[in-house]
Chain A
């Protein structure tokens, strides 16, 4: 049995993953040595996928970890934490992750679009969790940090900050010429 009081630590997230329709890894990152080798990681992912792909249940306990998840078209998003972790904190990370990816892919959260923009998604993961510590949990801040090329986003969908940034850039260039 686990001890009553929780250890206070900034290390919250054990892993983050996106799996496809067949349970194959699209992207996965583990932040501690629960699963040291790629083989063990993939076995865990297989198991996780089998337990979650039909039940739309949002949360599951698996192999002593709390896993929260969400799906969209042909993708499954997961965030894993210790079984003692505050489940609502894990869900806030999952939502930030999902919303950030969704914003970057302009709501087409499906494997094909994701693969086409894999560079941005990799950067987003890097902005959300750093070595197991939640770095940022606000989706618009994450997207801003990733700074995907925003030039083909319609102006109505841009935030004020982005518009100002674009204007600044253009001004800079025109001055340089």
Chain B
């Protein structure tokens, strides 16, 4: 960073963007610095940033030049600098789709993911899974299973999310990791719990019995993570939608309980799930509607938007259930957010009557 600052002073004190007119050819030439020893850490980070910036701006890199840059970059594994290493991981991921023979870094990454430095491990796992293919996956399977149950949350999350990305092309391998994922669901960490539950569902998705067991297990012992609860609400409502008598199912009670959760994210997810169920009578919608009605007068635009959009959808099929919200909806007609105002008007057109026109 120091390097950048000095660079800018030299140019002049104006508002020059240090990355404004960088040229692909020159940057790739500069990448030769990677071969020098000892490694100039600051300079290398700066050049990697430039390469990433070019890719991010949509600059086209050819296979040959990308491969050349990639191979030069592998030299940087000699340095132990934290920041540099992380930039190398990021570059590996970005270049992995363009460059050839990227599997050359497999052993370096495997070493990092099993190493002592916790800061490296999560991102090393994610970079490794990005370049890995079916045949190589067998070789690292053991490490990935261990990483899923690692006590460091960033390592565990990285392994779970990578497993999800790998699931489609390697279903038969990844489905063997169910036990580890199961263990990770009970993690104290919000994100680990969310990723673990998500992975389990993605694995079991097509097995209705397994899904019902998954829901039954986790709807009783309450999950800590609001993200995980939202996920479970979605899983449950999809399951419930195929039941003929949704209102009498214990899962409906689970959804209704979630309306009293302390996180707004969960309350909204539950309310939306309930109003979207097709086998419910209008009286079963009431608790969800009143929660949404409360959101309508929130000072936060996103909450108002979310509520009015959901009510708008309900009004298409069951306008009578929404009429209780008419007064609140009328207040939103003049909302500063035009999307909210428009949604409020169209909802009122379906639920309103003559008396509301007069006001």
What 0/1 readout, one digit per residue, does chain B (199-220) give for beta carbons within 8 Å of chain A? Answer: 1011000000000000000000
Of chain B, the residue at the smallest CB distance from A37 is B58
Any A CB within 8 A of the CB of B352 = no
Chain A contacts for B87, CB-based, 8 A: 119, 122-123
Of chain A, the residue at the smallest CB distance from B234 is A8
Chain B contacts for A55, CB-based, 8 A: 336-338
A116 contact from B4, B45, B53, B162, Cβ within 8 A: B4
Inter-subunit contact B231/A122 (CB<8 Å): no
The B119-164 residues at the A interface (CB cut-off 8 A) are 119, 122-123, 126, 154, 157-158, 161-162, 164
Inter-subunit contact B199/A10 (CB<8 Å): yes
Chain B contacts for A119, CB-based, 8 A: 1, 45-46, 48-49, 83, 87
Inter-subunit contact B201/A135 (CB<8 Å): no
Chain B contacts for A58, CB-based, 8 A: 300-302, 305, 337
Any B CB within 8 A of the CB of A91 = yes
Count of A residues near B, CB < 8 Å? 53
The smallest C-beta distance from A116 to any residue of chain B, in angstroms, reads 5
The A40-83 residues at the B interface (CB cut-off 8 A) are 41-42, 55-61, 68
The smallest C-beta distance from A35 to any residue of chain B, in angstroms, reads 11
Inter-subunit contact A118/B301 (CB<8 Å): no
- Measured CA separation A115–B22 after assembly (Å): 13
Of chain A, the residue at the smallest CB distance from B90 is A126
Any A CB within 8 A of the CB of B278 = yes
Inter-subunit contact B195/A4 (CB<8 Å): no
Chain A contacts for B337, CB-based, 8 A: 55, 57-59
The B5-59 residues at the A interface (CB cut-off 8 A) are 5, 8, 15, 17-19, 45-46, 48-49, 52-53, 56-58
Inter-subunit contact A111/B17 (CB<8 Å): yes
A residues bordering B, Cβ < 8 Å?
A: 4-10, 25, 27-29, 38-39, 41-42, 55-61, 68, 86-89, 91-92, 111-112, 115-119, 122-123, 126, 130-131, 133-138, 141, 145-149
